[in-house]
Structure formats: C-alpha cells, structure tokens
C-alpha cells in the first residue's frame, strides 16, 4: 500500500528524498513526485505547493495518478493555541478553513456540501503519527530544538486551521482565533494547506494525517522566526517523525 508523504517546503523534503531507495522522479502537473521505498515501505514524496489550491491539486494527483492509499502531511505552522510554543509539535485531529465564509447562507467556516465546519483526519493514522512524534520527542526532543527558555518540545493534538494567508501579526492572529474559539473551535495552529488536503482525502475516503512543527507564533515576529526555524530545525523533525511512523505502519 503506497503511503504519500507531503511536505510543505523543499527544506523539509530533502532529507526524505536523500533516504529514498530505488528513487524515481516523475513529473506531473508541473510538479515532481518521488517514487521509491523508505524504511521498507512503498512511498511517494511530493511538495504540496503553497496554499489550499496547490495542495488540493497535489493531493488529487497523489491519489489518482500515484495510487496513494494514505496521505501524511509534514510541515510547519504558526502556533496560536495557549501554550503552543516554537519547537512544539501538533498532530491534527481535524481542520477548519479559517478563510471560508458563506454566511449567512451557511454556517461560518462551513465548506458547503460537507457535514460540519471541522474536516476530520483519520483517527487511526493520526494516533500512529502521534505515537511516532511522542517517540521522537522522548528520544530526540532536546537535541531537535533547544528552546531559549529551556522549554522541552511538547506534543499537542487537536484542531488546526488553514487559509491562504501567512499570519505575521498578533492582531490578525487574534481576529482569526477568537471568533472560532467563541464558536467552540479551539485552534492550536495555523498553516496554509492541511484543510485542503483533508477535504480531498474525505472526498476519496483516503486516510489522512498531518503533523506540523511550530515555527513561529503567528505574531509580529513570525517573519523572522519562520525562516530561521526552516533553515535549522524543520527538516530534522520531518526525517525523525516520518522514519518512526513508517516503522509503525
């Protein structure tokens, strides 16, 4: 059964590509797909592209053209939940599209045609992913990211939000988070692709799970924290977590 590993950024994918056995690069829809085997499992590696539409196209190609039977997303996100700090890791239970609004015709944030505001990830695959993260943090945590305040990286599980906007301002982050919280949706982290992949995977009944390492707090420092984190830490997280997950599958 082919597992697709979607990465948001080349820095997060490079370690996976260099470990790929019998690697074959296939171009499709203007994208590179790397087919091969990783830690004994048949895989296809791809970059999601940035934003919801790019990620939805990539996910559709993975399913239709590369017969992916489960999709795992690894990437980074801005932490917005209480206590979700840079270097922590979030495994999504479900997703909301924070920029979807067809109110008053439909409930705010609902993608019409779907049963609820929250797009669910696969519970079993997400549990295995959380187990992989837990193992990595327990064995490698302090070596993976040295937080300036001595805080050890933690695993959080819950709701993530996606939208076509990089959040670099505390005021925008609050404006996004607070109405969702008031409606009972406690968002832990924001990024730009996961909800789109979740939606495609629901359409095809393909199990989906997502892990995001927190690169910034989606605040006024995000534009500085994000590139520094990508350069130094993101790929090491992705390598460790994916290896452990593939051993568990």
Interface residue list for ligand ADE (CB under 6 A): 76-78, 166-167, 190-192, 215-216, 218, 222, 226
User: Least distance in Å: CB of 222 to ligand ADE?
Assistant: 4
Which CB sits closer to ligand ADE, 38 or 214? Answer: 214
User: Least distance in Å: CB of 192 to ligand ADE?
Assistant: 5
| Helix 10-19 / helix 235-248 crossing angle, nearest 10 deg | 50
Which residue among 94, 122, 216, 219 is the active-site one?
216
Which CB sits closer to ligand ADE, 160 or 245? Answer: 160
Look up 12 and say whether it is catalytic.
yes
User: Least distance in Å: CB of 202 to ligand ADE?
Assistant: 22
Q: Cβ neighbours of residue 142 under 8 Å, at least 6 residues apart?
A: 152, 153
Look up 216 and say whether it is catalytic.
yes
Distance CA 195, CA 146 (A): 30
Q: Hey, which bits of the chain come out as E strands? A: 3-7, 21-28, 31-38, 41-47, 70-79, 89-97, 119-120, 155-162, 187-191, 208-216
**CA nearest to 241, candidates 146, 153, 121:** 153
Cis peptide before 109 (omega within 30 of 0): no
Which CB sits closer to ligand ADE, 78 or 207? Answer: 78
**CA nearest to 98, candidates 83, 112, 118, 114:** 118
The full DSSP string for 125-152 is HHHHHHHHHHHHHHHHHHHH---TT-PP
Q: Partners of 115 in the beta sheet?
A: none
Which CB sits closer to ligand ADE, 33 or 166? Answer: 166
Which CB sits closer to ligand ADE, 79 or 207? Answer: 79
Kind of pairing between the strands at 3-7 and 41-47: parallel
User: Least distance in Å: CB of 191 to ligand ADE?
Assistant: 4
Which residue among 11, 12, 88, 191 is the active-site one?
12
User: Least distance in Å: CB of 19 to ligand ADE?
Assistant: 24
Question: What is the set of active-site residues?
Answer: 12, 216
């Amino acid at each position: 059964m082919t597992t697709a590993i979607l990465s948001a950024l080349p820095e997060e994918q490079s370690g996976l590509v260099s470990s790929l056995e019998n690697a074959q690069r296939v171009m499709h829809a203007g994208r590179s797909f790397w087919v091969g085997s990783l830690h004994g499992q048949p895989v296809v590696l791809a970059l999601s592209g940035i934003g919801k539409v790019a990620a939805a196209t990539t996910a559709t190609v993975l399913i239709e053209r590369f017969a992916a039977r489960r999709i795992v997303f690894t990437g980074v996100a801005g932490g917005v939940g209480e206590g979700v700090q840079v270097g922590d890791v979030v495994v999504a239970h479900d997703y909301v599209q924070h920029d979807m609004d067809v109110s008053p015709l439909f409930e705010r944030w609902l993608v019409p045609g779907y049963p609820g505001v929250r797009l669910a990830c696969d519970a079993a695959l997400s549990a295995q992913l959380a187990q992989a993260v837990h193992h990595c943090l327990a064995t490698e945590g302090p070596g993976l990211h040295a937080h300036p305040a001595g805080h050890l990286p933690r695993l959080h599980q819950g709701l993530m939000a996606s939208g076509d906007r990089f959040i670099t301002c505390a005021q925008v982050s609050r404006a996004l988070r607070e109405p969702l919280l008031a409606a009972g949706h406690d968002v832990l982290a924001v990024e730009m692709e996961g909800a789109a992949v979740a939606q495609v995977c629901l359409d095809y009944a393909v199990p989906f799970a997502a892990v995001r390492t927190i690169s910034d707090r989606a605040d006024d420092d995000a534009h500085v924290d994000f590139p520094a984190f990508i350069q130094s830490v993101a790929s090491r997280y992705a390598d460790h977590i994916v290896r452990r997950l593939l051993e568990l599958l």
